[in-house]
Amino acid sequence: MLLGPLARPAPDGSWVQLTKLDGLAVGAPPRLYQVFIERTDAWTRHARNAVGSVFLERLDAKTVRAFQAACPHLGCSVEWRGDQKHFFCPCHNSAFSHDGAIIPPSPSARGLDALDVAIHEDGGVWVKFQDFKAGVKEKLPVA
Amino acid sequence: MKALFDWLDDRTGIRKLVRGALYEHVPGGARWRYVWGSTLTLAITVQFITGIFLWMNYSPSAQSAWESVYYINDVMPGGWLLRGIHHYMAQLMVPLLVLHFMQVVIDGAYKAPREINFWFGLGLLMLTLAISVTGYLLPWDQRGYWSTKVVTNLISGVPVIGDSLQRLVVGDANYGHHTLTRFFAMHAGVLPALLVLLIAGHVALFRKHGLTAKQPKKKPDAMFWPDQVLMDAIASLAVIAAVLGLVWWFKGAELGAPANPAEPYSAARPDWYFMSLFQFLKFFEGERIIWGSLIIPGIIFLLLMLMPLLGRWRLGHRFNLFVLFAGLAGFGVLTAMAFTHDARDSHYHAAVAQARMDAARAKELATSRKGIPTEGALALLRDDPLTQGPRLFASQCASCHTYSGHDGLGAPLPEPPSAPDLAGFGSRDWLRGFMDPAQIETLKYFGGTVFVHPKPGDKKSRMVRFILEDVAKYGAEEKAQLEKIILALSAEAKLPAQKEADLRDAAQIEEGRKLLKDLALDCTDCHRFHDVEGGKAPDFTGYGSHEWLVEFTKNPAHERFYGKRNDRMPAFGETSRLTARELELLIRWLRKE
């Protein structure tokens, strides 16, 4: 009842396909993708449950970089600000460089959380979507 | 009547009770500064009553919370008023609590033997704030969702037990049904029950110790009845009037678009009385956040708790007054800083405007005949061209194109556009501007393209030269022909907004078609038009129609369109840059279908 949620296993991230390689142009700014996963929310089974969003950027022919859009500070969604070429959190004003590193002075304890990316043979861009603990230096998956 | 009261009094002892309540001793006589406790009792009573009526209509689940609040707010007769009163009374309770607290500290009413009652009061203050925080999430709109996420992430920062505490509060690793059921149980069950208990203790102890008079007394001692009762009643009426005024002025309480974890919300802010804490958190870098979220607020709370003990000494009382006013000043300055920052931030303004548009659209769709589907109102926005179109445009088209001069969502492009502005594409006005020698070379049309700025050694495109050289010299008769051709070409788009105009001008459109087919003004030298073959320029058949735009966007370099002369526009349909569904939403938005 009260303590039930503590007994549930910690989530281990979900691999989801967000696009195909040809959907991302080299040199284009990071694009935000919404993430839907198969999930059971208490009593409801969702085939596609919206859980968050991810910035994808194609670095070269074979490499795609993925950042969790949730700010590592306190979980608001960061935006890509094209005019300044950096990520910015509209809540407590943390700024992150193009490669996700903190631009001081920012309240966030760490840079943006990079997510694991796998490119499948058919060109599918798969990302391991995970939430990380907010407000700490170390990148720890939410337990 | 008297007999009835006698009977009631005999069975219940009500006369003694009423007398006890009304003939409380008021040393120094009635004063306005004593009214705040009564106004707070009134406020809490109103919250209980309105809260129970809201409860009768509220459904705490991820697919029904927003929906039921929308129903209360926008469908249920008087629901907006009910929710409005509950909302604005909650807003007003904070200043009322502050005033009550100030009176108690300034008048020294917290000193021995009233320590415990002072602590009860602090408990009530904390409970009220906790009820506010838990209530903020319940509408399950974007604002409540994203702001509360910050709160639960702050909880995870509590040493040792933080992670477990967060999990218990959220009810799962992610927000969902159980977050709502838990918040609702706290908001409407656990916290109000504790509130009632503490209020009972607070009032009982107040009666036991009596009122602490403001010194020096200006008037002789009196009873609670009638003067103080009158003052309390007037103050309570003023509170009710203020709440009704706010509800009327703001047309009820705000309800944002339904919560969407996948849709960033850049306008996330807590309620105004937490804006100081929100601002405070900006000052702590890295893991020092705990100073802003726990340690310093904890120290301030401890100082408040210590007030009755320190207040025994004269210097202690002065120190308490200093803490009170320094605290209020800090609260005021931080709040002002937060609001000033937002007022000057154009990104924030854009985010708020977007949030309002999304909220209005969600309600519009929910109110439409289609109504809210079983999977919730979120699905309405997800499949809505008006909501998704501008977002897709901003992310996929606005690196080159503008829409009414902006990126679709209202922001300017980081660099000047290199392709035409697509607002009203295919409409009569758009085409008239295109054919205007004074406009074709502007950024609204071909000004950013290779058609105007060819590679060194090449000429401007044939179309641009045609407009600059031929159209510029048109006489009255040719201009009239061109206008008819524009009407005919625009009619090909079958734009919903032009439906009536196209019907009205059917005769002229028919003439324009005929002109096109008869090779007038040389259009069909290059452009295909139905059975007139044309050349290598984009096909005029169905120009700007839904099908034409979908196919064009899929592959503008197809020979039906620009062929080899396509200027940099990617083939969105042959890559995965836009899914078929996204393309459909984008085109429907562009065409205002």
- Residue ranges making up the domain that contains B278: 271-301+315-344
Nearest-neighbour CA in chain A from B7: distance (Å): 48
| Nearest alpha-carbon partner for B586 in B389, B408, B383 | B389
**What secondary structure does DSSP assign to A62-106, as a single string?**
S-EEEEESB-TTTSPBPEEETTTTEEE-TTT--EE-TTS-EESS-
- Predicted-complex ipTM score: 0.97
pLDDT of B158 > 90? The answer is yes
B123-152 residue pLDDT tens: 999 999 999 999 999 999 999 999 999 999
Neighboring chain B residues of A41 at a CB cutoff of 8 Å? 62, 172, 174, 176-178
Q: Which residues in chain A are contacts of B266 at CB distance < 8 A?
A: 76-77, 79, 90
Q: CA separation (Å) from B462 to A5, B264, B459, B528?
A: 69, 45, 8, 16
Q: Is residue B296 part of a domain?
A: yes
Q: In 3D, which of B433, B430, B425, B395 has the Cα closest to residue B411?
A: B395
Does pLDDT of A143 surpass 80? no
Q: Chain A neighbours among B 341-360 (CB < 8 Å)?
A: 347-348, 351
- CB-based contact, B373 to chain A, within 8 Å: no
Please give the full DSSP string across B165-208, using - where no structure is assigned.
Answer: HHHHHHSSSS-SHHHHHHHHHIIIIIHHHHHHHHHHHHHHHHHH
C-alpha distances in Å from residue B499, one per residue of B183, B430, B593: 50, 16, 11
pLDDT digits (tens, 9 = 90+) for B190-235: 999 999 999 999 999 999 998 888 888 888 999 999 999 999 999 9
Q: Is the pLDDT of residue B392 over 90?
A: yes
Strand A31-41's sheet: what is its strand order? A31-41, A44-58, A64-68
Q: In chain B, how many domains are there?
A: 1
User: What is the SS3 assignment for A8?
Assistant: coil
Helix axis angle for B296-310 and B115-137, nearest 10°, is: 150
A31 lies within 8 A of chain B by CB? yes
Domains of chain A are 11-129 (2.102.10.10)
Q: Is residue B462 one of the residues assigned to a domain?
A: no
User: B318-350, pLDDT tens digit by residue?
Assistant: 999 999 999 999 999 999 999 999 999 999 999
Q: Is residue B146 exposed (0-12), middle (13-18) or buried (19+ Cβ within 10 Å)?
A: buried
In the numeric block, the tokens 């607070």 are attached to B202
CB atoms inside a 10 Å sphere around CB B549: 22
In a domain, B291, yes or no: yes
Cβ neighbours of residue B134 under 8 Å, at least 6 residues apart?
B183, B184, B186, B187, B191
Side-chain half-sphere CA neighbours of A55 within 13 A: 26
Grade residue B21 by pLDDT with cuts at 50, 70 and 90.
Answer: confident
The residue assigned the tokens 């503490």 is: B198
Q: pTM of the full predicted structure?
A: 0.91
Return the amino acid letter for A131: D
Give strand pairing partners of B141.
B258
Q: Residue B24 to residues B215, B217, B275, B332, B491: CA-CA distances in angstroms?
A: 19, 17, 39, 36, 83
Q: Is A98 on the interface with B (CB under 8 A)?
A: no
Give the whole-angstrom CA distance, residue B89 versus residue B69: 18
Does residue B279 form part of some domain?
A: yes
Identify the pLDDT of residue B234: 98
Average pLDDT for B502-510: 96
Distance CA B256, CA B102 (A): 35
pLDDT in tens, A66-77: 999 999 999 999
Q: Is residue B150 within 8 angstroms of chain A, CB to CB?
A: yes
pLDDT band at B575 (very low <50, low <70, confident <90, very high): confident
Query: Count of CB atoms within 10 A of residue B199's CB?
Result: 19
CB contact under 8 A, B285 and A107: yes
DSSP 3-state helix, strand, coil percentages of chain A (rounded to 5)? 5, 45, 50
Compute the distance between CA of residue A71 and CA of residue A68 in angstroms, rounded to an integer: 8
